[in-house]
Structure 1
Amino acid sequence: MSPQVESKSSSIVIVGAGVFGLSTAIHLAERGYTNVTILDKQSYQDSHYAYEKERHTTDYGSLSCSHCSTADINKIIRAAYGSQFEYQTLALDAIAKWKKWNEELKTGKTVPPGFSTSDALFVNNSTVTMTTGLEMDQFEKDTIRNMDRVGLRETQVNLHNPQDVARARAKGFGFAVDAFSTSNISSVLDTQSGFVYADRACHFALHKAQKLGVKAILGGSKSTFSHFLENADGKITGVKTADGVSHQADLTIMACGGWTPSLLTQLDNLCETTAGSVAMFQLPQDKALWDKFAPENFPTWSYDIRRGKYGGLYGFARDPNGVVKIGYRGTKFTNPQTQADGASRSVPVTRWTQEAIRQIPLMASRVIKGFVRDYLPELIDCEMTSRLCWYTDSYDNHFVIDFVPDHHGLMVATGGSGHGFKFLPNLGEHVVDRIEGKKNDYLQYWNWRSLEKGAKPYNSIMEGVGSDRSLHHQAMTSLDRFATQLSRL
């Protein structure tokens, strides 16, 4: 494929300042593109991507707050990808680049306002993957085999293998070995993984992009997408924002996270917006608990992550404010709404778009509650808040990075499917390869595509209001009710 822009000075507008948009902007600038603009309706220059302006604010209407999946306190960084060797390779490359970003902070090369050279984005506190039953999950077996292919077998620790455990302790990961009672479940520790401080990582990336010359227009009507500009030949020539201003572009890239499928309706049956459920437990000022859940003493973890609606749990060490986050994606909830063209599409609903939505589905709360009861009872009496976290799932769990068919000048970068954040430092390399028409082994997975007739999708999408995953059919658990239920365990 030939390059889709004429020169490095061609104008490129990216709609969305999340992971896909930021990474694309950085790598465009690093390859010498000089006319790149990011638009996003969120005031990230004020919020610094924090989900709440202040960690425990009750001003849920604050426009300085953020409400996309990017705006979060932490995200898992894992290298394990089972049989998907290509994603393992991409993840290992991402981890290497996260370490470079840590080094940029440490050496003072890139230090955004509010950061210091003692800060870190990526924390290598390992990940513990737990699966019901003593038989190791096939995913873990495949991961071990693929890590062995690249000389990294020793990074994978079977917690039922005394030799593996001894090796993990010798490498300083004894805290992870002892974090959970795993005698009756299959458990694998990955010593090269961990988490990133998500909001700070995006703040860092935005600063890096701007330092490289990317223009960012963020917050309010001046940066809120209204509609595409189109010439007489049908070419997309940019976008108009809600304030009526036209932003001309030789190439427009839609990277709007959970809002992408409803803004770019050509994604019907390829991508859908779905919600995960998040519970955040505030630790009291108790030294024992504070120390136990510190990142240097507690691993990142997942539980029955591929076992359907009664699994799909993951969690983290505490953040600097003492918040312990547990997420649930065993059921990927939807919010189908009828749009202007008469079609029903799932759209995000957050506490900043609907005052009442300070809840998570009762199904999610019960699964989280059961795990806390069995594995982390110290959290039962902690103050807790909850929220929905909106993602964009593709039907096959692969990203979508391609030009929109029959719309010259328009590209999409989306479909994170709950595993895209880890690639913030390197995903944009591949977006730029697509723009430049370069051969790339990954892009074959991220083409514009459709589900073959009779094939079973990895993610069921576009089921509409009748789906049992629709929030229309979910009993929602209020914060007060959920907290009371936990205290009764």
Structure 2
Amino acid sequence: MSGYSGGYDAIVVGLGGMGSAAAYRLAERGLSVLGLDRFGPAHDRGSSHGGSRITRQAYFEDPAYVPLLQRAAELWDQASVESGRSLVDWTGGVMVGRPDGPTVAGSLASAREWGLEHELLEAPAIRSRFPQLRPSDTDVALVERRAGVVNPEESVRAHLSLARRAGARLHHGETVLDWTSTGHGVRVRTDHGVYSADKLVLAPGAWATEVIADLGLPLQVERYVQFWFAPDDPAAFAGHPVWIWEGENDRQAYGFGAGEDGTVKVAFFRGGAPCDPHSVDRTVYPGEVDEIATFVGRHVPGAVRNFVRAKTCLYTCTPDHHFVIAPHPGHDDVVLACGFSGHGFKFVPVVGEIVSDLVADGVTRHPIGLFDPTRPALVRTPEHVA
């Protein structure tokens, strides 16, 4: 790149999961990179926290994600080695529900289309293989080996460290006020100053509706809660595969094996309340604890013996729950990475690679057609505009 006069090759706005990986991959290419984030490193105000995130490949959301997940798996292992941090634990995964439900049927479709190693178990075999689980007689489970746990805070710290090592300048505690595409690059104004660059990456998480307001994407920020319980037998959950359970009315909960402190983390996947990221209610109420304990208690009863703690988390959702990763349709010098809809963290390293491709080369070899910001699901109808 030529380098905008007095500026950077690229500015990355947002240094959570996606932005930290993008900053690293851009700096690794030899570009001069400035990263900006309104909060501190690996903060808990957005979506990249909570100690654990599920990664999996038999993807019930859409088989089109699978090649990205396979590349992400390679990059998770690579980033662990390069950073010297333990970022992923391949525990395996168990997806439980009725045979024709979206969780099992969708996972099975992806596994078969891409030839992923998997097993399909009926209820007696589930109980025998995973005695902590209590399926009904009509439940089945898809079991996959290449699933596990990613640590979000460690991931962000690792990618920030690798970005700095590659020469990126990272400014935390600095809020972006606005940005402008000048036709010869971009200018970004913050509460600390004004910066210029050839290219701009917008990975602002829950603040996307503000930072990308010009595009009018129909994004909705939703409040979710992550819960930690002390199980009745921590040893029985040590190293347990991650699980997703589809219950009544297709509602999904998910959970992990016991962490280093002996607690088990569980949460609901959908059904969060719309919120404002600036004023989200971060109080967790007894009724919310009772709801998750009741649901999980029916299916994984030993996991939720005693409530320990909880923490809120934000999803930034598109109407179809697919991501937005693409050049800005109105500005060739701006790349978007947002709308990850609560299932994006497992893609962090490959999103960083895709973004760096789009910034440096204008194209990527990865399949990202599903993430086009001009797709019909993201076109606002007159009632949305009003």
Q: TM-score range by the shorter chain?
A: 0.7 to 0.9
CA distance in 2, matches of 1:357, 1:18: 19
Over 3 Å counting, the alpha-carbon distance change for 1:143 and 1:430 in structure 2 is same
Q: Counterpart of 2:195?
A: 247
Q: Does 1:137 align with 2:105?
A: no
Classify 1:413/1:188 alpha carbon distance in 2 versus 1 (closer, same or farther; 3 Å): same
Q: Find out whether 1:206 has 2:160 as its counterpart.
A: yes
Q: One-letter code of the match for 1:409?
A: D
Structure 1 residue 315 and structure 2 residue 255: aligned? yes
Q: Which amino acid aligns with 1:126?
A: G
- Give the distance between the partners of 2:230 and 2:190, measured in 1 at CA: 39
C-alpha root-mean-square deviation of aligned residues, in Å? Answer: 3.3
Which amino acid in structure 2 is aligned with residue 357 of structure 1?
R
2:88 maps to which of 111, 118, 122: 122
Paired residue type of 1:147: A
Q: For residue 424 of structure 1, give the secondary structure of its aligned residue in structure 2.
A: helix
Q: CA deviation at 1:86?
A: 2.4
The residue aligned with 1:224 is 175
**1:451 pairs with 2:376:** yes
Q: Quickly say closer, same or farther: Cα 1:305–1:37, change in 2 above 3 A.
A: farther
User: C-alpha distance in 2, partners of 1:267/1:305?
Assistant: 37
Provide the residue aligned with 1:79 in structure 2. 57
Over alpha carbons, which structure has the higher Rg? 1
Cα pair 2:217 2:378 within 8 Å, conserved: no
- 1:182 aligned onto 2:135: yes
Label 1:261 to 1:176 Cα distance change in 2 as closer, same or farther (>3 A): farther
Q: Does 1:280 align with 2:210?
A: no
Once the 2 structures are TM-superposed, how far is the Cα of residue 125 of structure 1 from its aligned partner? 1.1
CA deviation vs aligned residue, 1:186-243 (integer Å, no higher than 9, x gap): 2222121011122112211211121122211112xxx221222565x6x662212213
**Does 1:237 find its partner at 2:179?**
no
1:394 pairs with one of 296, 318, 326: 318
Q: What letter is aligned with 1:179?
A: Q
Count of aligned residue pairs for this structure pair: 381
CA offsets per residue over residues 301-342 of structure 1, 9 Å max, x none? 11117945xx2211111221233211113313202xxxxxxx
Which whole-Å CA distance do the structure 2 matches of 1:452 and 1:394 have between them? 8
CA distance in structure 2 between the partners assigned to 1:402 and 1:251 by the alignment: 13
SS of aligned partner of 1:100: helix
Pair 386,89 (structure 1): closer, same or farther in 2 beyond 3 Å: same
- Offset of 1:140 from its aligned partner? 3.1
Report the counterpart of residue 485 of structure 1 in structure 2: none
TM-score under structure 1 length normalisation: 0.69
Query: Which residue in the other structure is 2:169 paired with?
Result: 215
- Structure 2 partner of 1:160: 122
8 Å CA contact 1:270–1:449 kept in 2: the answer is no
Which structure shows the higher strand fraction?
2
**Residue 66, structure 1, aligned to residue 35, structure 2:** no
Q: Secondary structure at the match of 2:270?
A: strand
Give distance in 2, aligned partners of 1:293 and 1:462. Answer: 46
CA distance in 1 between partners of 2:324 and 2:23 (Å) = 17
Residue identity matched to 1:238:
R
| Partner SS state of residue 158, structure 2 | helix
Q: Aligned to 1:330, which of 259, 263, 270?
A: 270
The offset of 1:130, in angstroms, is 1.5
Match of 1:99 in 2: 77
Residue ranges of structure 1 left out of the alignment (5+ in a row)? 50-64, 169-173, 336-345, 351-355, 465-489
Separation in 2 of the partners of 1:266 and 1:226?
13
Rounded to whole Å, the distance in 1 between the matches of 2:62 and 2:88 is 23
- C-alpha separation in 2, matches of 1:85 and 1:16: 28
1:42 to 16, 39, 43: 39
Identity of aligned residues (%): 22
**Structure 2 CA distance for aligned equivalents of residues 384 and 440 of structure 1:** 45
TM-score, length-scaled by structure 2: 0.86
- Structure 1, 17-26 or 368-377: larger mean CA deviation: 368-377
Note the C-alpha offset of 1:382: 1.8
Aligned to 1:14: 12
Change (3 A) 1:83 1:218: closer
For 2:363, which of 438, 448, 467 is the aligned residue?
A: 438
* 1-structure distance, mates of 2:342, 2:30: 31
Tell me if structure 2 keeps the 8 A contact 1:430–1:442.
no
Work out the CA distance in 2 between the residues paired with 1:414 and 1:24.
12
1:147 CA drift (Å): 2.8
Aligned partners of 1:179 and 1:299 also within 8 Å: no
